Amino acid sequence: MRLTEHEQAMLDGKEGPAKQKAMDLLVRYGEALGAERLVDTNNVSSSVSASSPVMREFAAKHGGGFDAIFSEFNLDSAETVKIPKIETHACQLIQAVDPDHWQTQGISRERYELNKESEEYSGSIGIQLLSTCTPYQVGNVPVKGEICAWMESSAVVYINSVLGARTNCEGKESTGAAMLTGKIPYWGYHIDENRLGTDLVEVEIEMETMEDWGLLGYYIGEMIGDRVPVINGIKGTPDHNMLKHFGAAASSSGGIEMYHMPGITADASTVEEAFGNNKPKTVIKYGKAERQQAYELLNHSAKDKEVDFIMLGCPHASLEQLWDICKLLDGRKINGNTDVWIFTPRALRQVADRSGYTKIIQDAGAKLMSDTCPAIGQILPEGTKVVATDSAKQAHYLPAIMGIQTWFGSLEDCINAAITGKWREY
């Protein structure tokens, strides 16, 4: 890789050991990618939380507290280096603990305390504690063309496609190095030609509900893997919630990090512009049969109709989604055998509190939480065997991560299950 004078100086340790380790990781990573150089970035979304007992044990063994954890888990450095204040703007993504609901979530006091200390550490080096998988819902909205270094597959696909920002799907180590140096390998979706469409999807049915968008995303991820689909035939304009669900689904069943909906998403206004000089590798149609196939894939783990737990808010819910939930819950009570946990960014939870949404949710017997989710925090109400969710992403991951049956359906299906305790028997 070609390095600038400044990059070489950092690699040579002239700006201290933390930047030296960061540059070492970026060079190893850049070479693994086949990148020719690094590029500047000032927008990093990362995961610096150190809330697991495994990490505390690790830190204790290496005698360095949180610097030891950052060195190993965010820089791939076995040697503990002192971490200075970071160079770039950076925010914390979703983490494992909700500091306000840890007891309900079955989190131990030890883990709660560790999370608190970890947050203090992250804040002290300059990381914004947004603690959400959707920084773009709470102020970090990159502009078209902005080079970013973001983790979180659902956020990566959103800012690349909907906003036209430029990021690859980074990891804990590369974002740790990026926030210390302001550098990331110049590769992949930073480069014009890699953002062009590769496959054409002809949508032949109406896309109306959030469920429709989750299913379309899940099907496309399954079929297209990690290429760049161009989705044609969308009538009307989906809102940001629909595109959030669509991208999260597509990046779970597959590895979609970039897509085009010509005229809707940022990079292209026509199908021709989306493909540039590329010829579509495949042309797939999406009709009723394909929608049904995606539905069956998502529900493959579910058998029992008795539902213990309803999970809403993956990716973290917007205020509009919270209000839609409120309208369905207002004046009703959820079943005594069912728990309902709804997840939103902590910044939006404050607005929900002040707007009276939280009270409507609580009065119905549901809970509004933030900062985490069942899959990330590995948290469930005690004794949960069967979960229902309106999120294709959560339905994809929960059976594997938590070993529970998972139903996927519409928000209305989920709320009805919350009231009756049964899936789709009404």
For other proteins, the binding residues (CB under 8 A) are 25, 28-29, 32-34, 47, 54, 58, 72-73, 76, 150-153, 156, 168-174, 187-188, 225-226, 251-252, 254-255, 297, 300-301, 375, 396-397, 399-401
Q: Judged by CB, which is closer to other proteins: 15, or 152?
A: 152
Q: Judged by CB, which is closer to other proteins: 58, or 112?
A: 58
Residue pair 381/339 in contact (Cβ under 8 Å)? The answer is yes
What is the Cα–Cα distance from 44 to 92, expressed in whole angstroms?
9
Burial grade of 206 (CB within 10 A; 0-12, 13-18, 19 or more): exposed
Q: How far is the CB of 152 from other proteins (least distance, A)?
A: 6
- Phi then psi dihedrals of residue 178, to 5 deg: -65, -40
Going by C-beta distance under 8 Å and a sequence separation of 6 or more, which residues neighbour residue 370?
A: 98, 100, 131, 132, 316, 343, 344, 345, 346, 348, 349
Residue pair 299/410 in contact (Cβ under 8 Å)? The answer is no
Q: Judged by CB, which is closer to other proteins: 23, or 334?
A: 23
Q: How far is the CB of 327 from other proteins (least distance, A)?
A: 32
Q: How far is the CB of 269 from other proteins (least distance, A)?
A: 28
Residue pair 155/345 in contact (Cβ under 8 Å)? The answer is no
Q: How far is the CB of 229 from other proteins (least distance, A)?
A: 14
Q: Judged by CB, which is closer to other proteins: 33, or 147?
A: 33
Q: How far is the CB of 153 from other proteins (least distance, A)?
A: 5
Strand partners, 203: 286
Going by C-beta distance under 8 Å and a sequence separation of 6 or more, which residues neighbour residue 307?
A: 338, 386, 387, 388, 407, 417, 418, 421, 422, 423
Q: Judged by CB, which is closer to other proteins: 103, or 292?
A: 292
What is the Cα–Cα distance from 189 to 265, expressed in whole angstroms?
15
Q: How far is the CB of 257 from other proteins (least distance, A)?
A: 8
Q: Judged by CB, which is closer to other proteins: 132, or 301?
A: 301
